[in-house]
Amino acid sequence: MPTPSILVTGGAGFIGSHTIVALTEAGYRPVILDDFSNSRQRVLDGLRQILGHEVPCYVQDCNDRTALLDIFQRENIGGVIHFAAFKAVGESMDEPLRYYRNNLGSLLTLLEVMLETGVSNLIFSSSCTVYGEPEVLPVTETAPVLPATSVYGNTKQVGEEILRDVVAAGKPLRVISLRYFNPVGAHPSAHIGELPLGAPNNLVPFITQTAAGLRAQITIFGDDYPTPDGTCIRDYIHVMDLAEAHVAALRTLPQDGTTSHYDVFNVGAGQGISVLEVVRAFEEVAGQKLNYRIGPRRAGDVVAVYADATKAHERLGWATKRSLREALADAWRWEKALL
Ligand code: WQD
């Protein structure tokens, strides 16, 4: 019996592509399913340069049940990591139906096909956004899930509820949801990294594009928050540390005959860093000043959120190995490789 494969939906995306590297390095055989709505062929080229071989890739929509079933029947799938989703917070508020249809439709289709084909191991890509503005920091998995502040965030909350309910109904699924904090950086080879199509939504690609001269200036969205330097605080985690957390989670899914299992883990560095601290760290790493201005607050931003990742350390045997400065250096090397 050939080694089972791991189907990685959204595997050509930012976190997905880095997880392909981590899975391969851990001895798994990943298979990519991606509709390339938010990625480019160059990601596959970069993976080939890193891994030295082609990664099997199906260009399909995760909402397409027939296509999904065909992949499960062609490949010997032993587990799934489900990244495929739209993730732009602002866009989700303008196009709620498109976000609910895609993000929840793809999850439901995937679950139906997994149950039909008897594949039960699933890692679900969730987000710290489910915590909203936590009362207590660092935030643990037992913190209340607050009403989502965006449609995108709600698709993650509802996604977790669907998984929990399907497992509670006794369906043969073993599921871990990983609540990501802020993934940043790139693979140190600079063959893959964050590839925002159009204007980036997130802080670090905006910083590197500004430093590269692709953007005139970066706006810091508010410095009048109740934090030490007035700017928002987040938990920035190197994307390779995040990728490796998926391997650790996969290894932790019960293999003792347990048929139904659900658990949730925070995946963050466990340190609160402000926007201005990221800017200063980048200036040191890049050895150049960043052209920024202070602008108005951005709607929907929480003041501060960062992880208590103790549960992942203890139960997944996982911990971050890379620093914010390493992530910024890797992100900068990647940006320069794109020029
Ligand atoms: C970080 C900080 C901004 C850009 C989002 C999603 C979350 C997850 C990660 C998917 C904030 C500030 C940013 C800029 C700025 N995505 N900022 N100027 O909003 O914490 O999280 O991405 O799972 O679900 O919500 O990340 O990088 O957009 O912002 O000042 O040009 O940087 O205000 O304080 P965020 P971000």
Each residue of 163-214: pLDDT tens digit? 999 999 999 999 999 999 999 999 999 999 998 888 888 999 999 999 999 9
| Residues framing ligand 1 (Cβ under 6 A) | 87, 89, 127, 129, 180, 182, 201-203, 206, 218-221, 232, 234, 275, 298, 301
Q: Residue 258 — very low, low, confident or very high, per pLDDT cuts 50/70/90?
A: confident
Give the distance (Å) from ligand 1 centre to CA of residue 129.
10
Give pTM, 2 decimals: 0.97
Q: Residue 313 — very low, low, confident or very high, per pLDDT cuts 50/70/90?
A: very high
Give the distance (Å) from ligand 1 centre to CA of residue 50.
29
**Residue whose CA is at the smallest distance from ligand 1 atom 15:** 220
- Quote the pLDDT of residue 83: 98
**Residue whose CA is at the smallest distance from ligand 1 atom 19:** 301
Residue 290, pLDDT > 80, answer yes
Known active-site residue 225: no
Residue 143, pLDDT > 60, answer yes
Residue 126, pLDDT > 60, answer yes
Q: What percent of the chain has pLDDT over 90?
A: 91
| β-bridge pairing 273-274 and 233-234 | antiparallel
- Tell which one of 89, 218, 225 to mutate to probe ligand 1, the residue whose CB is within 8 A of the most ligand atoms: 89
Q: Residue 326 — very low, low, confident or very high, per pLDDT cuts 50/70/90?
A: very high
Give the distance (Å) from ligand 1 centre to CA of residue 334.
20
- Quote the pLDDT of residue 1: 55
